[in-house]
Amino acid sequence: MNKRDIRALSLEEITDFFNTNNEKTFRAKQVYEWLWKKSAIRFDEMTNLSITTRGLLENNFVINAVTINDQQISSDRTIKNAFKLFDQHVVEGVLIPTTNRMTACISSQVGCSLTCKFCATGKLQRLRNLNADEIYDQVVLLKKQAENNYETPLTNIVYMGMGEPLLNYSNVIKSVEKITSPEGLNMSPQRITISTAGIAKMIKKLGDDKVKFNLAVSLHAANDEKRSHIMPINEQNSLQALAEALVYFYEKTECRVTYEYIIFKDFNDTLFDAKELADFCMHVPCKVNVIEYNPIDDSEFQQTTEPRLKAFTNYLESRNVIVNVRRSRGKDIDAACGQLANKNKAVQKPVYK
């Protein structure tokens, strides 16, 4: 018999199941709490249910829990994980410890369909979307990893791993609901950032849904020709269309946008590039994260020089743009921005405290 994934059911559907099977309906709420608030991955963990009730659940449902298949530790204490899904597919997630925060970087798709030239994940085929519970499980596992290995609570979540979150809109939104709900992990939506390559119509949908989490846009060039060269999605989502969508999003949510700008040597690192970026920043209240490039196999790009990076950021600041330079972490284990491509080596156990 094909068993149903119980975490795909609502509380009402679980209640209906208990009604149909002549079980007390309050048991449904207990099960729901075990699944989401307590993050149970086996029915025998649900110890306030009778053995008979647990057996009924076991006979009718499965919990398709995500597991850690492989793990690597960076010299800077970043931990990259290969997460195995119920159908044996693998996605990657990263725990990033810094002085002031502990961040979980999670995936939303198996592979990616966007083929951005600077991104290792973009060289993979998109195999499927992740379900909401699979996204949620990554957070649970990284949260436990932070607490067990660094004795620090998880503070932030970024949907910046494998895949384009807005091409898996429904499951991503459901996962955020479970992560932020008092009936789930009860994390603040202001601690969550979803990053998109810039799908205009879906950014407008975020506005219509009046989301409370943060939005980051992978911009990387404020020039259509250059952006289309490195990000083919720009051909259907031009900078003008993107700007219009972001204005709409801001009007609906009043949430400041973050632009991510990987800076490449001799490609997008001139003062004229900085001017184009500063001009684009005038559309909505925003900040810019300038990110150092992390080389991938067969890439045509290189890191820019420190003097050019400094001149670039100084120009942005002279235009009153809020700018931060992000130094990548986990580069030695291919865990940095743009490097996730299921290249984990042998398992290494965490040793840092």
Residues marked active site are found at 92, 337
The tokens for 184 are 């789930």
> What are residue 320's phi and psi, to 5 degrees?
65, 30
In sequence order, what are the residues at sequence separation of 6 or more whose Cβ sits closer than 8 angstroms to the Cβ of residue 50?
none
The tokens for 104 are 């979980």
Segment holding 91, helix H or strand E: strand 90-97
Cα distances from 97 to residues 71, 142, 149, 288, in angstroms, run 15, 11, 11, 21
DSSP-derived secondary structure for 160-201: -SSS-GGGGHHHHHHHHHHHHSTTTT---GGGEEEEES--HH
Cα distances from 167 to residues 122, 260, 327, 347, in angstroms, run 14, 19, 28, 31
Q: Which amino acid is at 117?
A: K
Residue pointed to by tokens 């195999």 = 127
